[in-house]
A and B are shown apart, each in its own frame.
Chain A
Amino acid sequence: MWTFLYQLASPKIFYERTGTYQIPLLWIAISLMTVGAIWGLFFAPPDYQQGDTFRIFYIHVPSAFLSMMLYAYMGFLSLLLLVWRIKIAGLMIPLVAEVGAAMTCLALLTGSLWGKPMWGTYWIWDARLTSELILFFIYLAILALHHAYQDHEKGDQLTAILTLVGLVDLPIIHYSVYWWNTLHQGATFSLLSKPKIALSMLPPLLFIFLGLLFFSVYLILNHARLVLLIRERRQQWVKLVCKEGK
């Protein structure tokens, strides 16, 4: 296991190994998301209070969960770069941030669409909504900071530091519904207790969440491999890859 991970720190091995997983990951992701979306739209039972509007849950919750999960992963990558000097980790931080920003945007928009029929407003400066909006701005700040530097090593390091600073927003998002009086409902899932949702409503959520997760991994690997090629373009193996066009 550790040998495999150490080997992945080498750009050439990372490029070769990840190439084999890309297409299967994409197909698994598309299949899971298609099944989840069709199940969520047409086969899951309606909620007894919210009716069919509840079906937004199947898009909103996985995207919101992923927006936080991807940020936590960026925090882990930042530690890998700053403590263990693994360069591929630094390269991946802005790539994960792009996908994370898209997920945060999707969570905010679907939440807003859900808010109008349930709360009577698209937006309110509620603790959960505001802290999630701040997460979106942090993602944008990380992307802007990274693109501001032509020296990518310095850019990677400063991005990693900003990422670690922004980590403070994650517990605020998670506990916002407990610390303040909010319109947003409390957590449906927790590690230590049963889910507060009927089991017949659960499968589409799992399908879409796993689908989005696999799709995010596919996007990040695809982008990482391309950035790696540009950064390592003076190496012989990159010239061979370009000739073969793989």
Chain B
Amino acid sequence: MKTVRLGPYTGLGFAFTIEMPRADRLTEVVAATFAGLRAEGEVPRTAFAAHPAPDLPGQQWRILVDGECQAVVSDRSIALDYLTWSVNQGTIRVGSAAYTLVHAAAVSREGGAVVLAAPMESGKSTTCAGLLRRGWSYLTDEAVAVDEEGLLTPFPKAVTIDPGAQFLFPELARPALADYPTKWHVPAGEFPAAIASGRVRVSALLFPQYQADAETKLIPVTRAEAVTGLARSTFNFLDAPERNVRRLAALSRRARSARLVIGSLEQAVERIECLVESGVL
């Protein structure tokens, strides 16, 4: 099998390449998925590879890390999910040394970032995608990286859109890689938005919570509530708790904070844009 090496890529200091079959439809998808992390000149430390496994039944693929088989997955779609997950894990592992890493999405406009911090399936990636569609700049939909000066460094991985939210973004429909609904991994370049350049200050800390049929609204929370909310969502909080508490407190002092109850994506985007238009952010 002829292969091609994609990359180098980097996310928060985690530099890597991905080896793929030269002639396979998944290769093109992987190249597009990780395009936002392309970093010429980086020295990769980790070599991922995804290869079909013709010796195994069905359409299975092997995922390798530095030559060692890490997983056998059932099809191309799961191979893409596994690669994305592995890159996220590597980024969080390496990025933890320098950054406080909050499980959150972030977008920016006019130099100020809106952070959407929440557990999975709260609507943060969907709201992030809704704001990107409106031209906001992209930082991340997975890990908000807070540095020692309280500024946010972009980790512009592809935006993940879960099957349940895909009907909201018909313009982003992906070619099917499997016979059942799977996540979409949408590169930031497919939105009418730029990737935020350089570090960004925070303007708002929002804690989204999707509630079907609820009225979409922003409910202010105190700065202290914001800190404990962010701490709960911080991947590496217990690695350096004092450092992280100081950074999260500094972040909350600079931002407006609110719980965002999301009944509809359209209204959530409207509420956030109203904050900007009213000069609150």
State whether these chains interact: no
Residues of A at the B interface (CB closer than 8 Å) are none
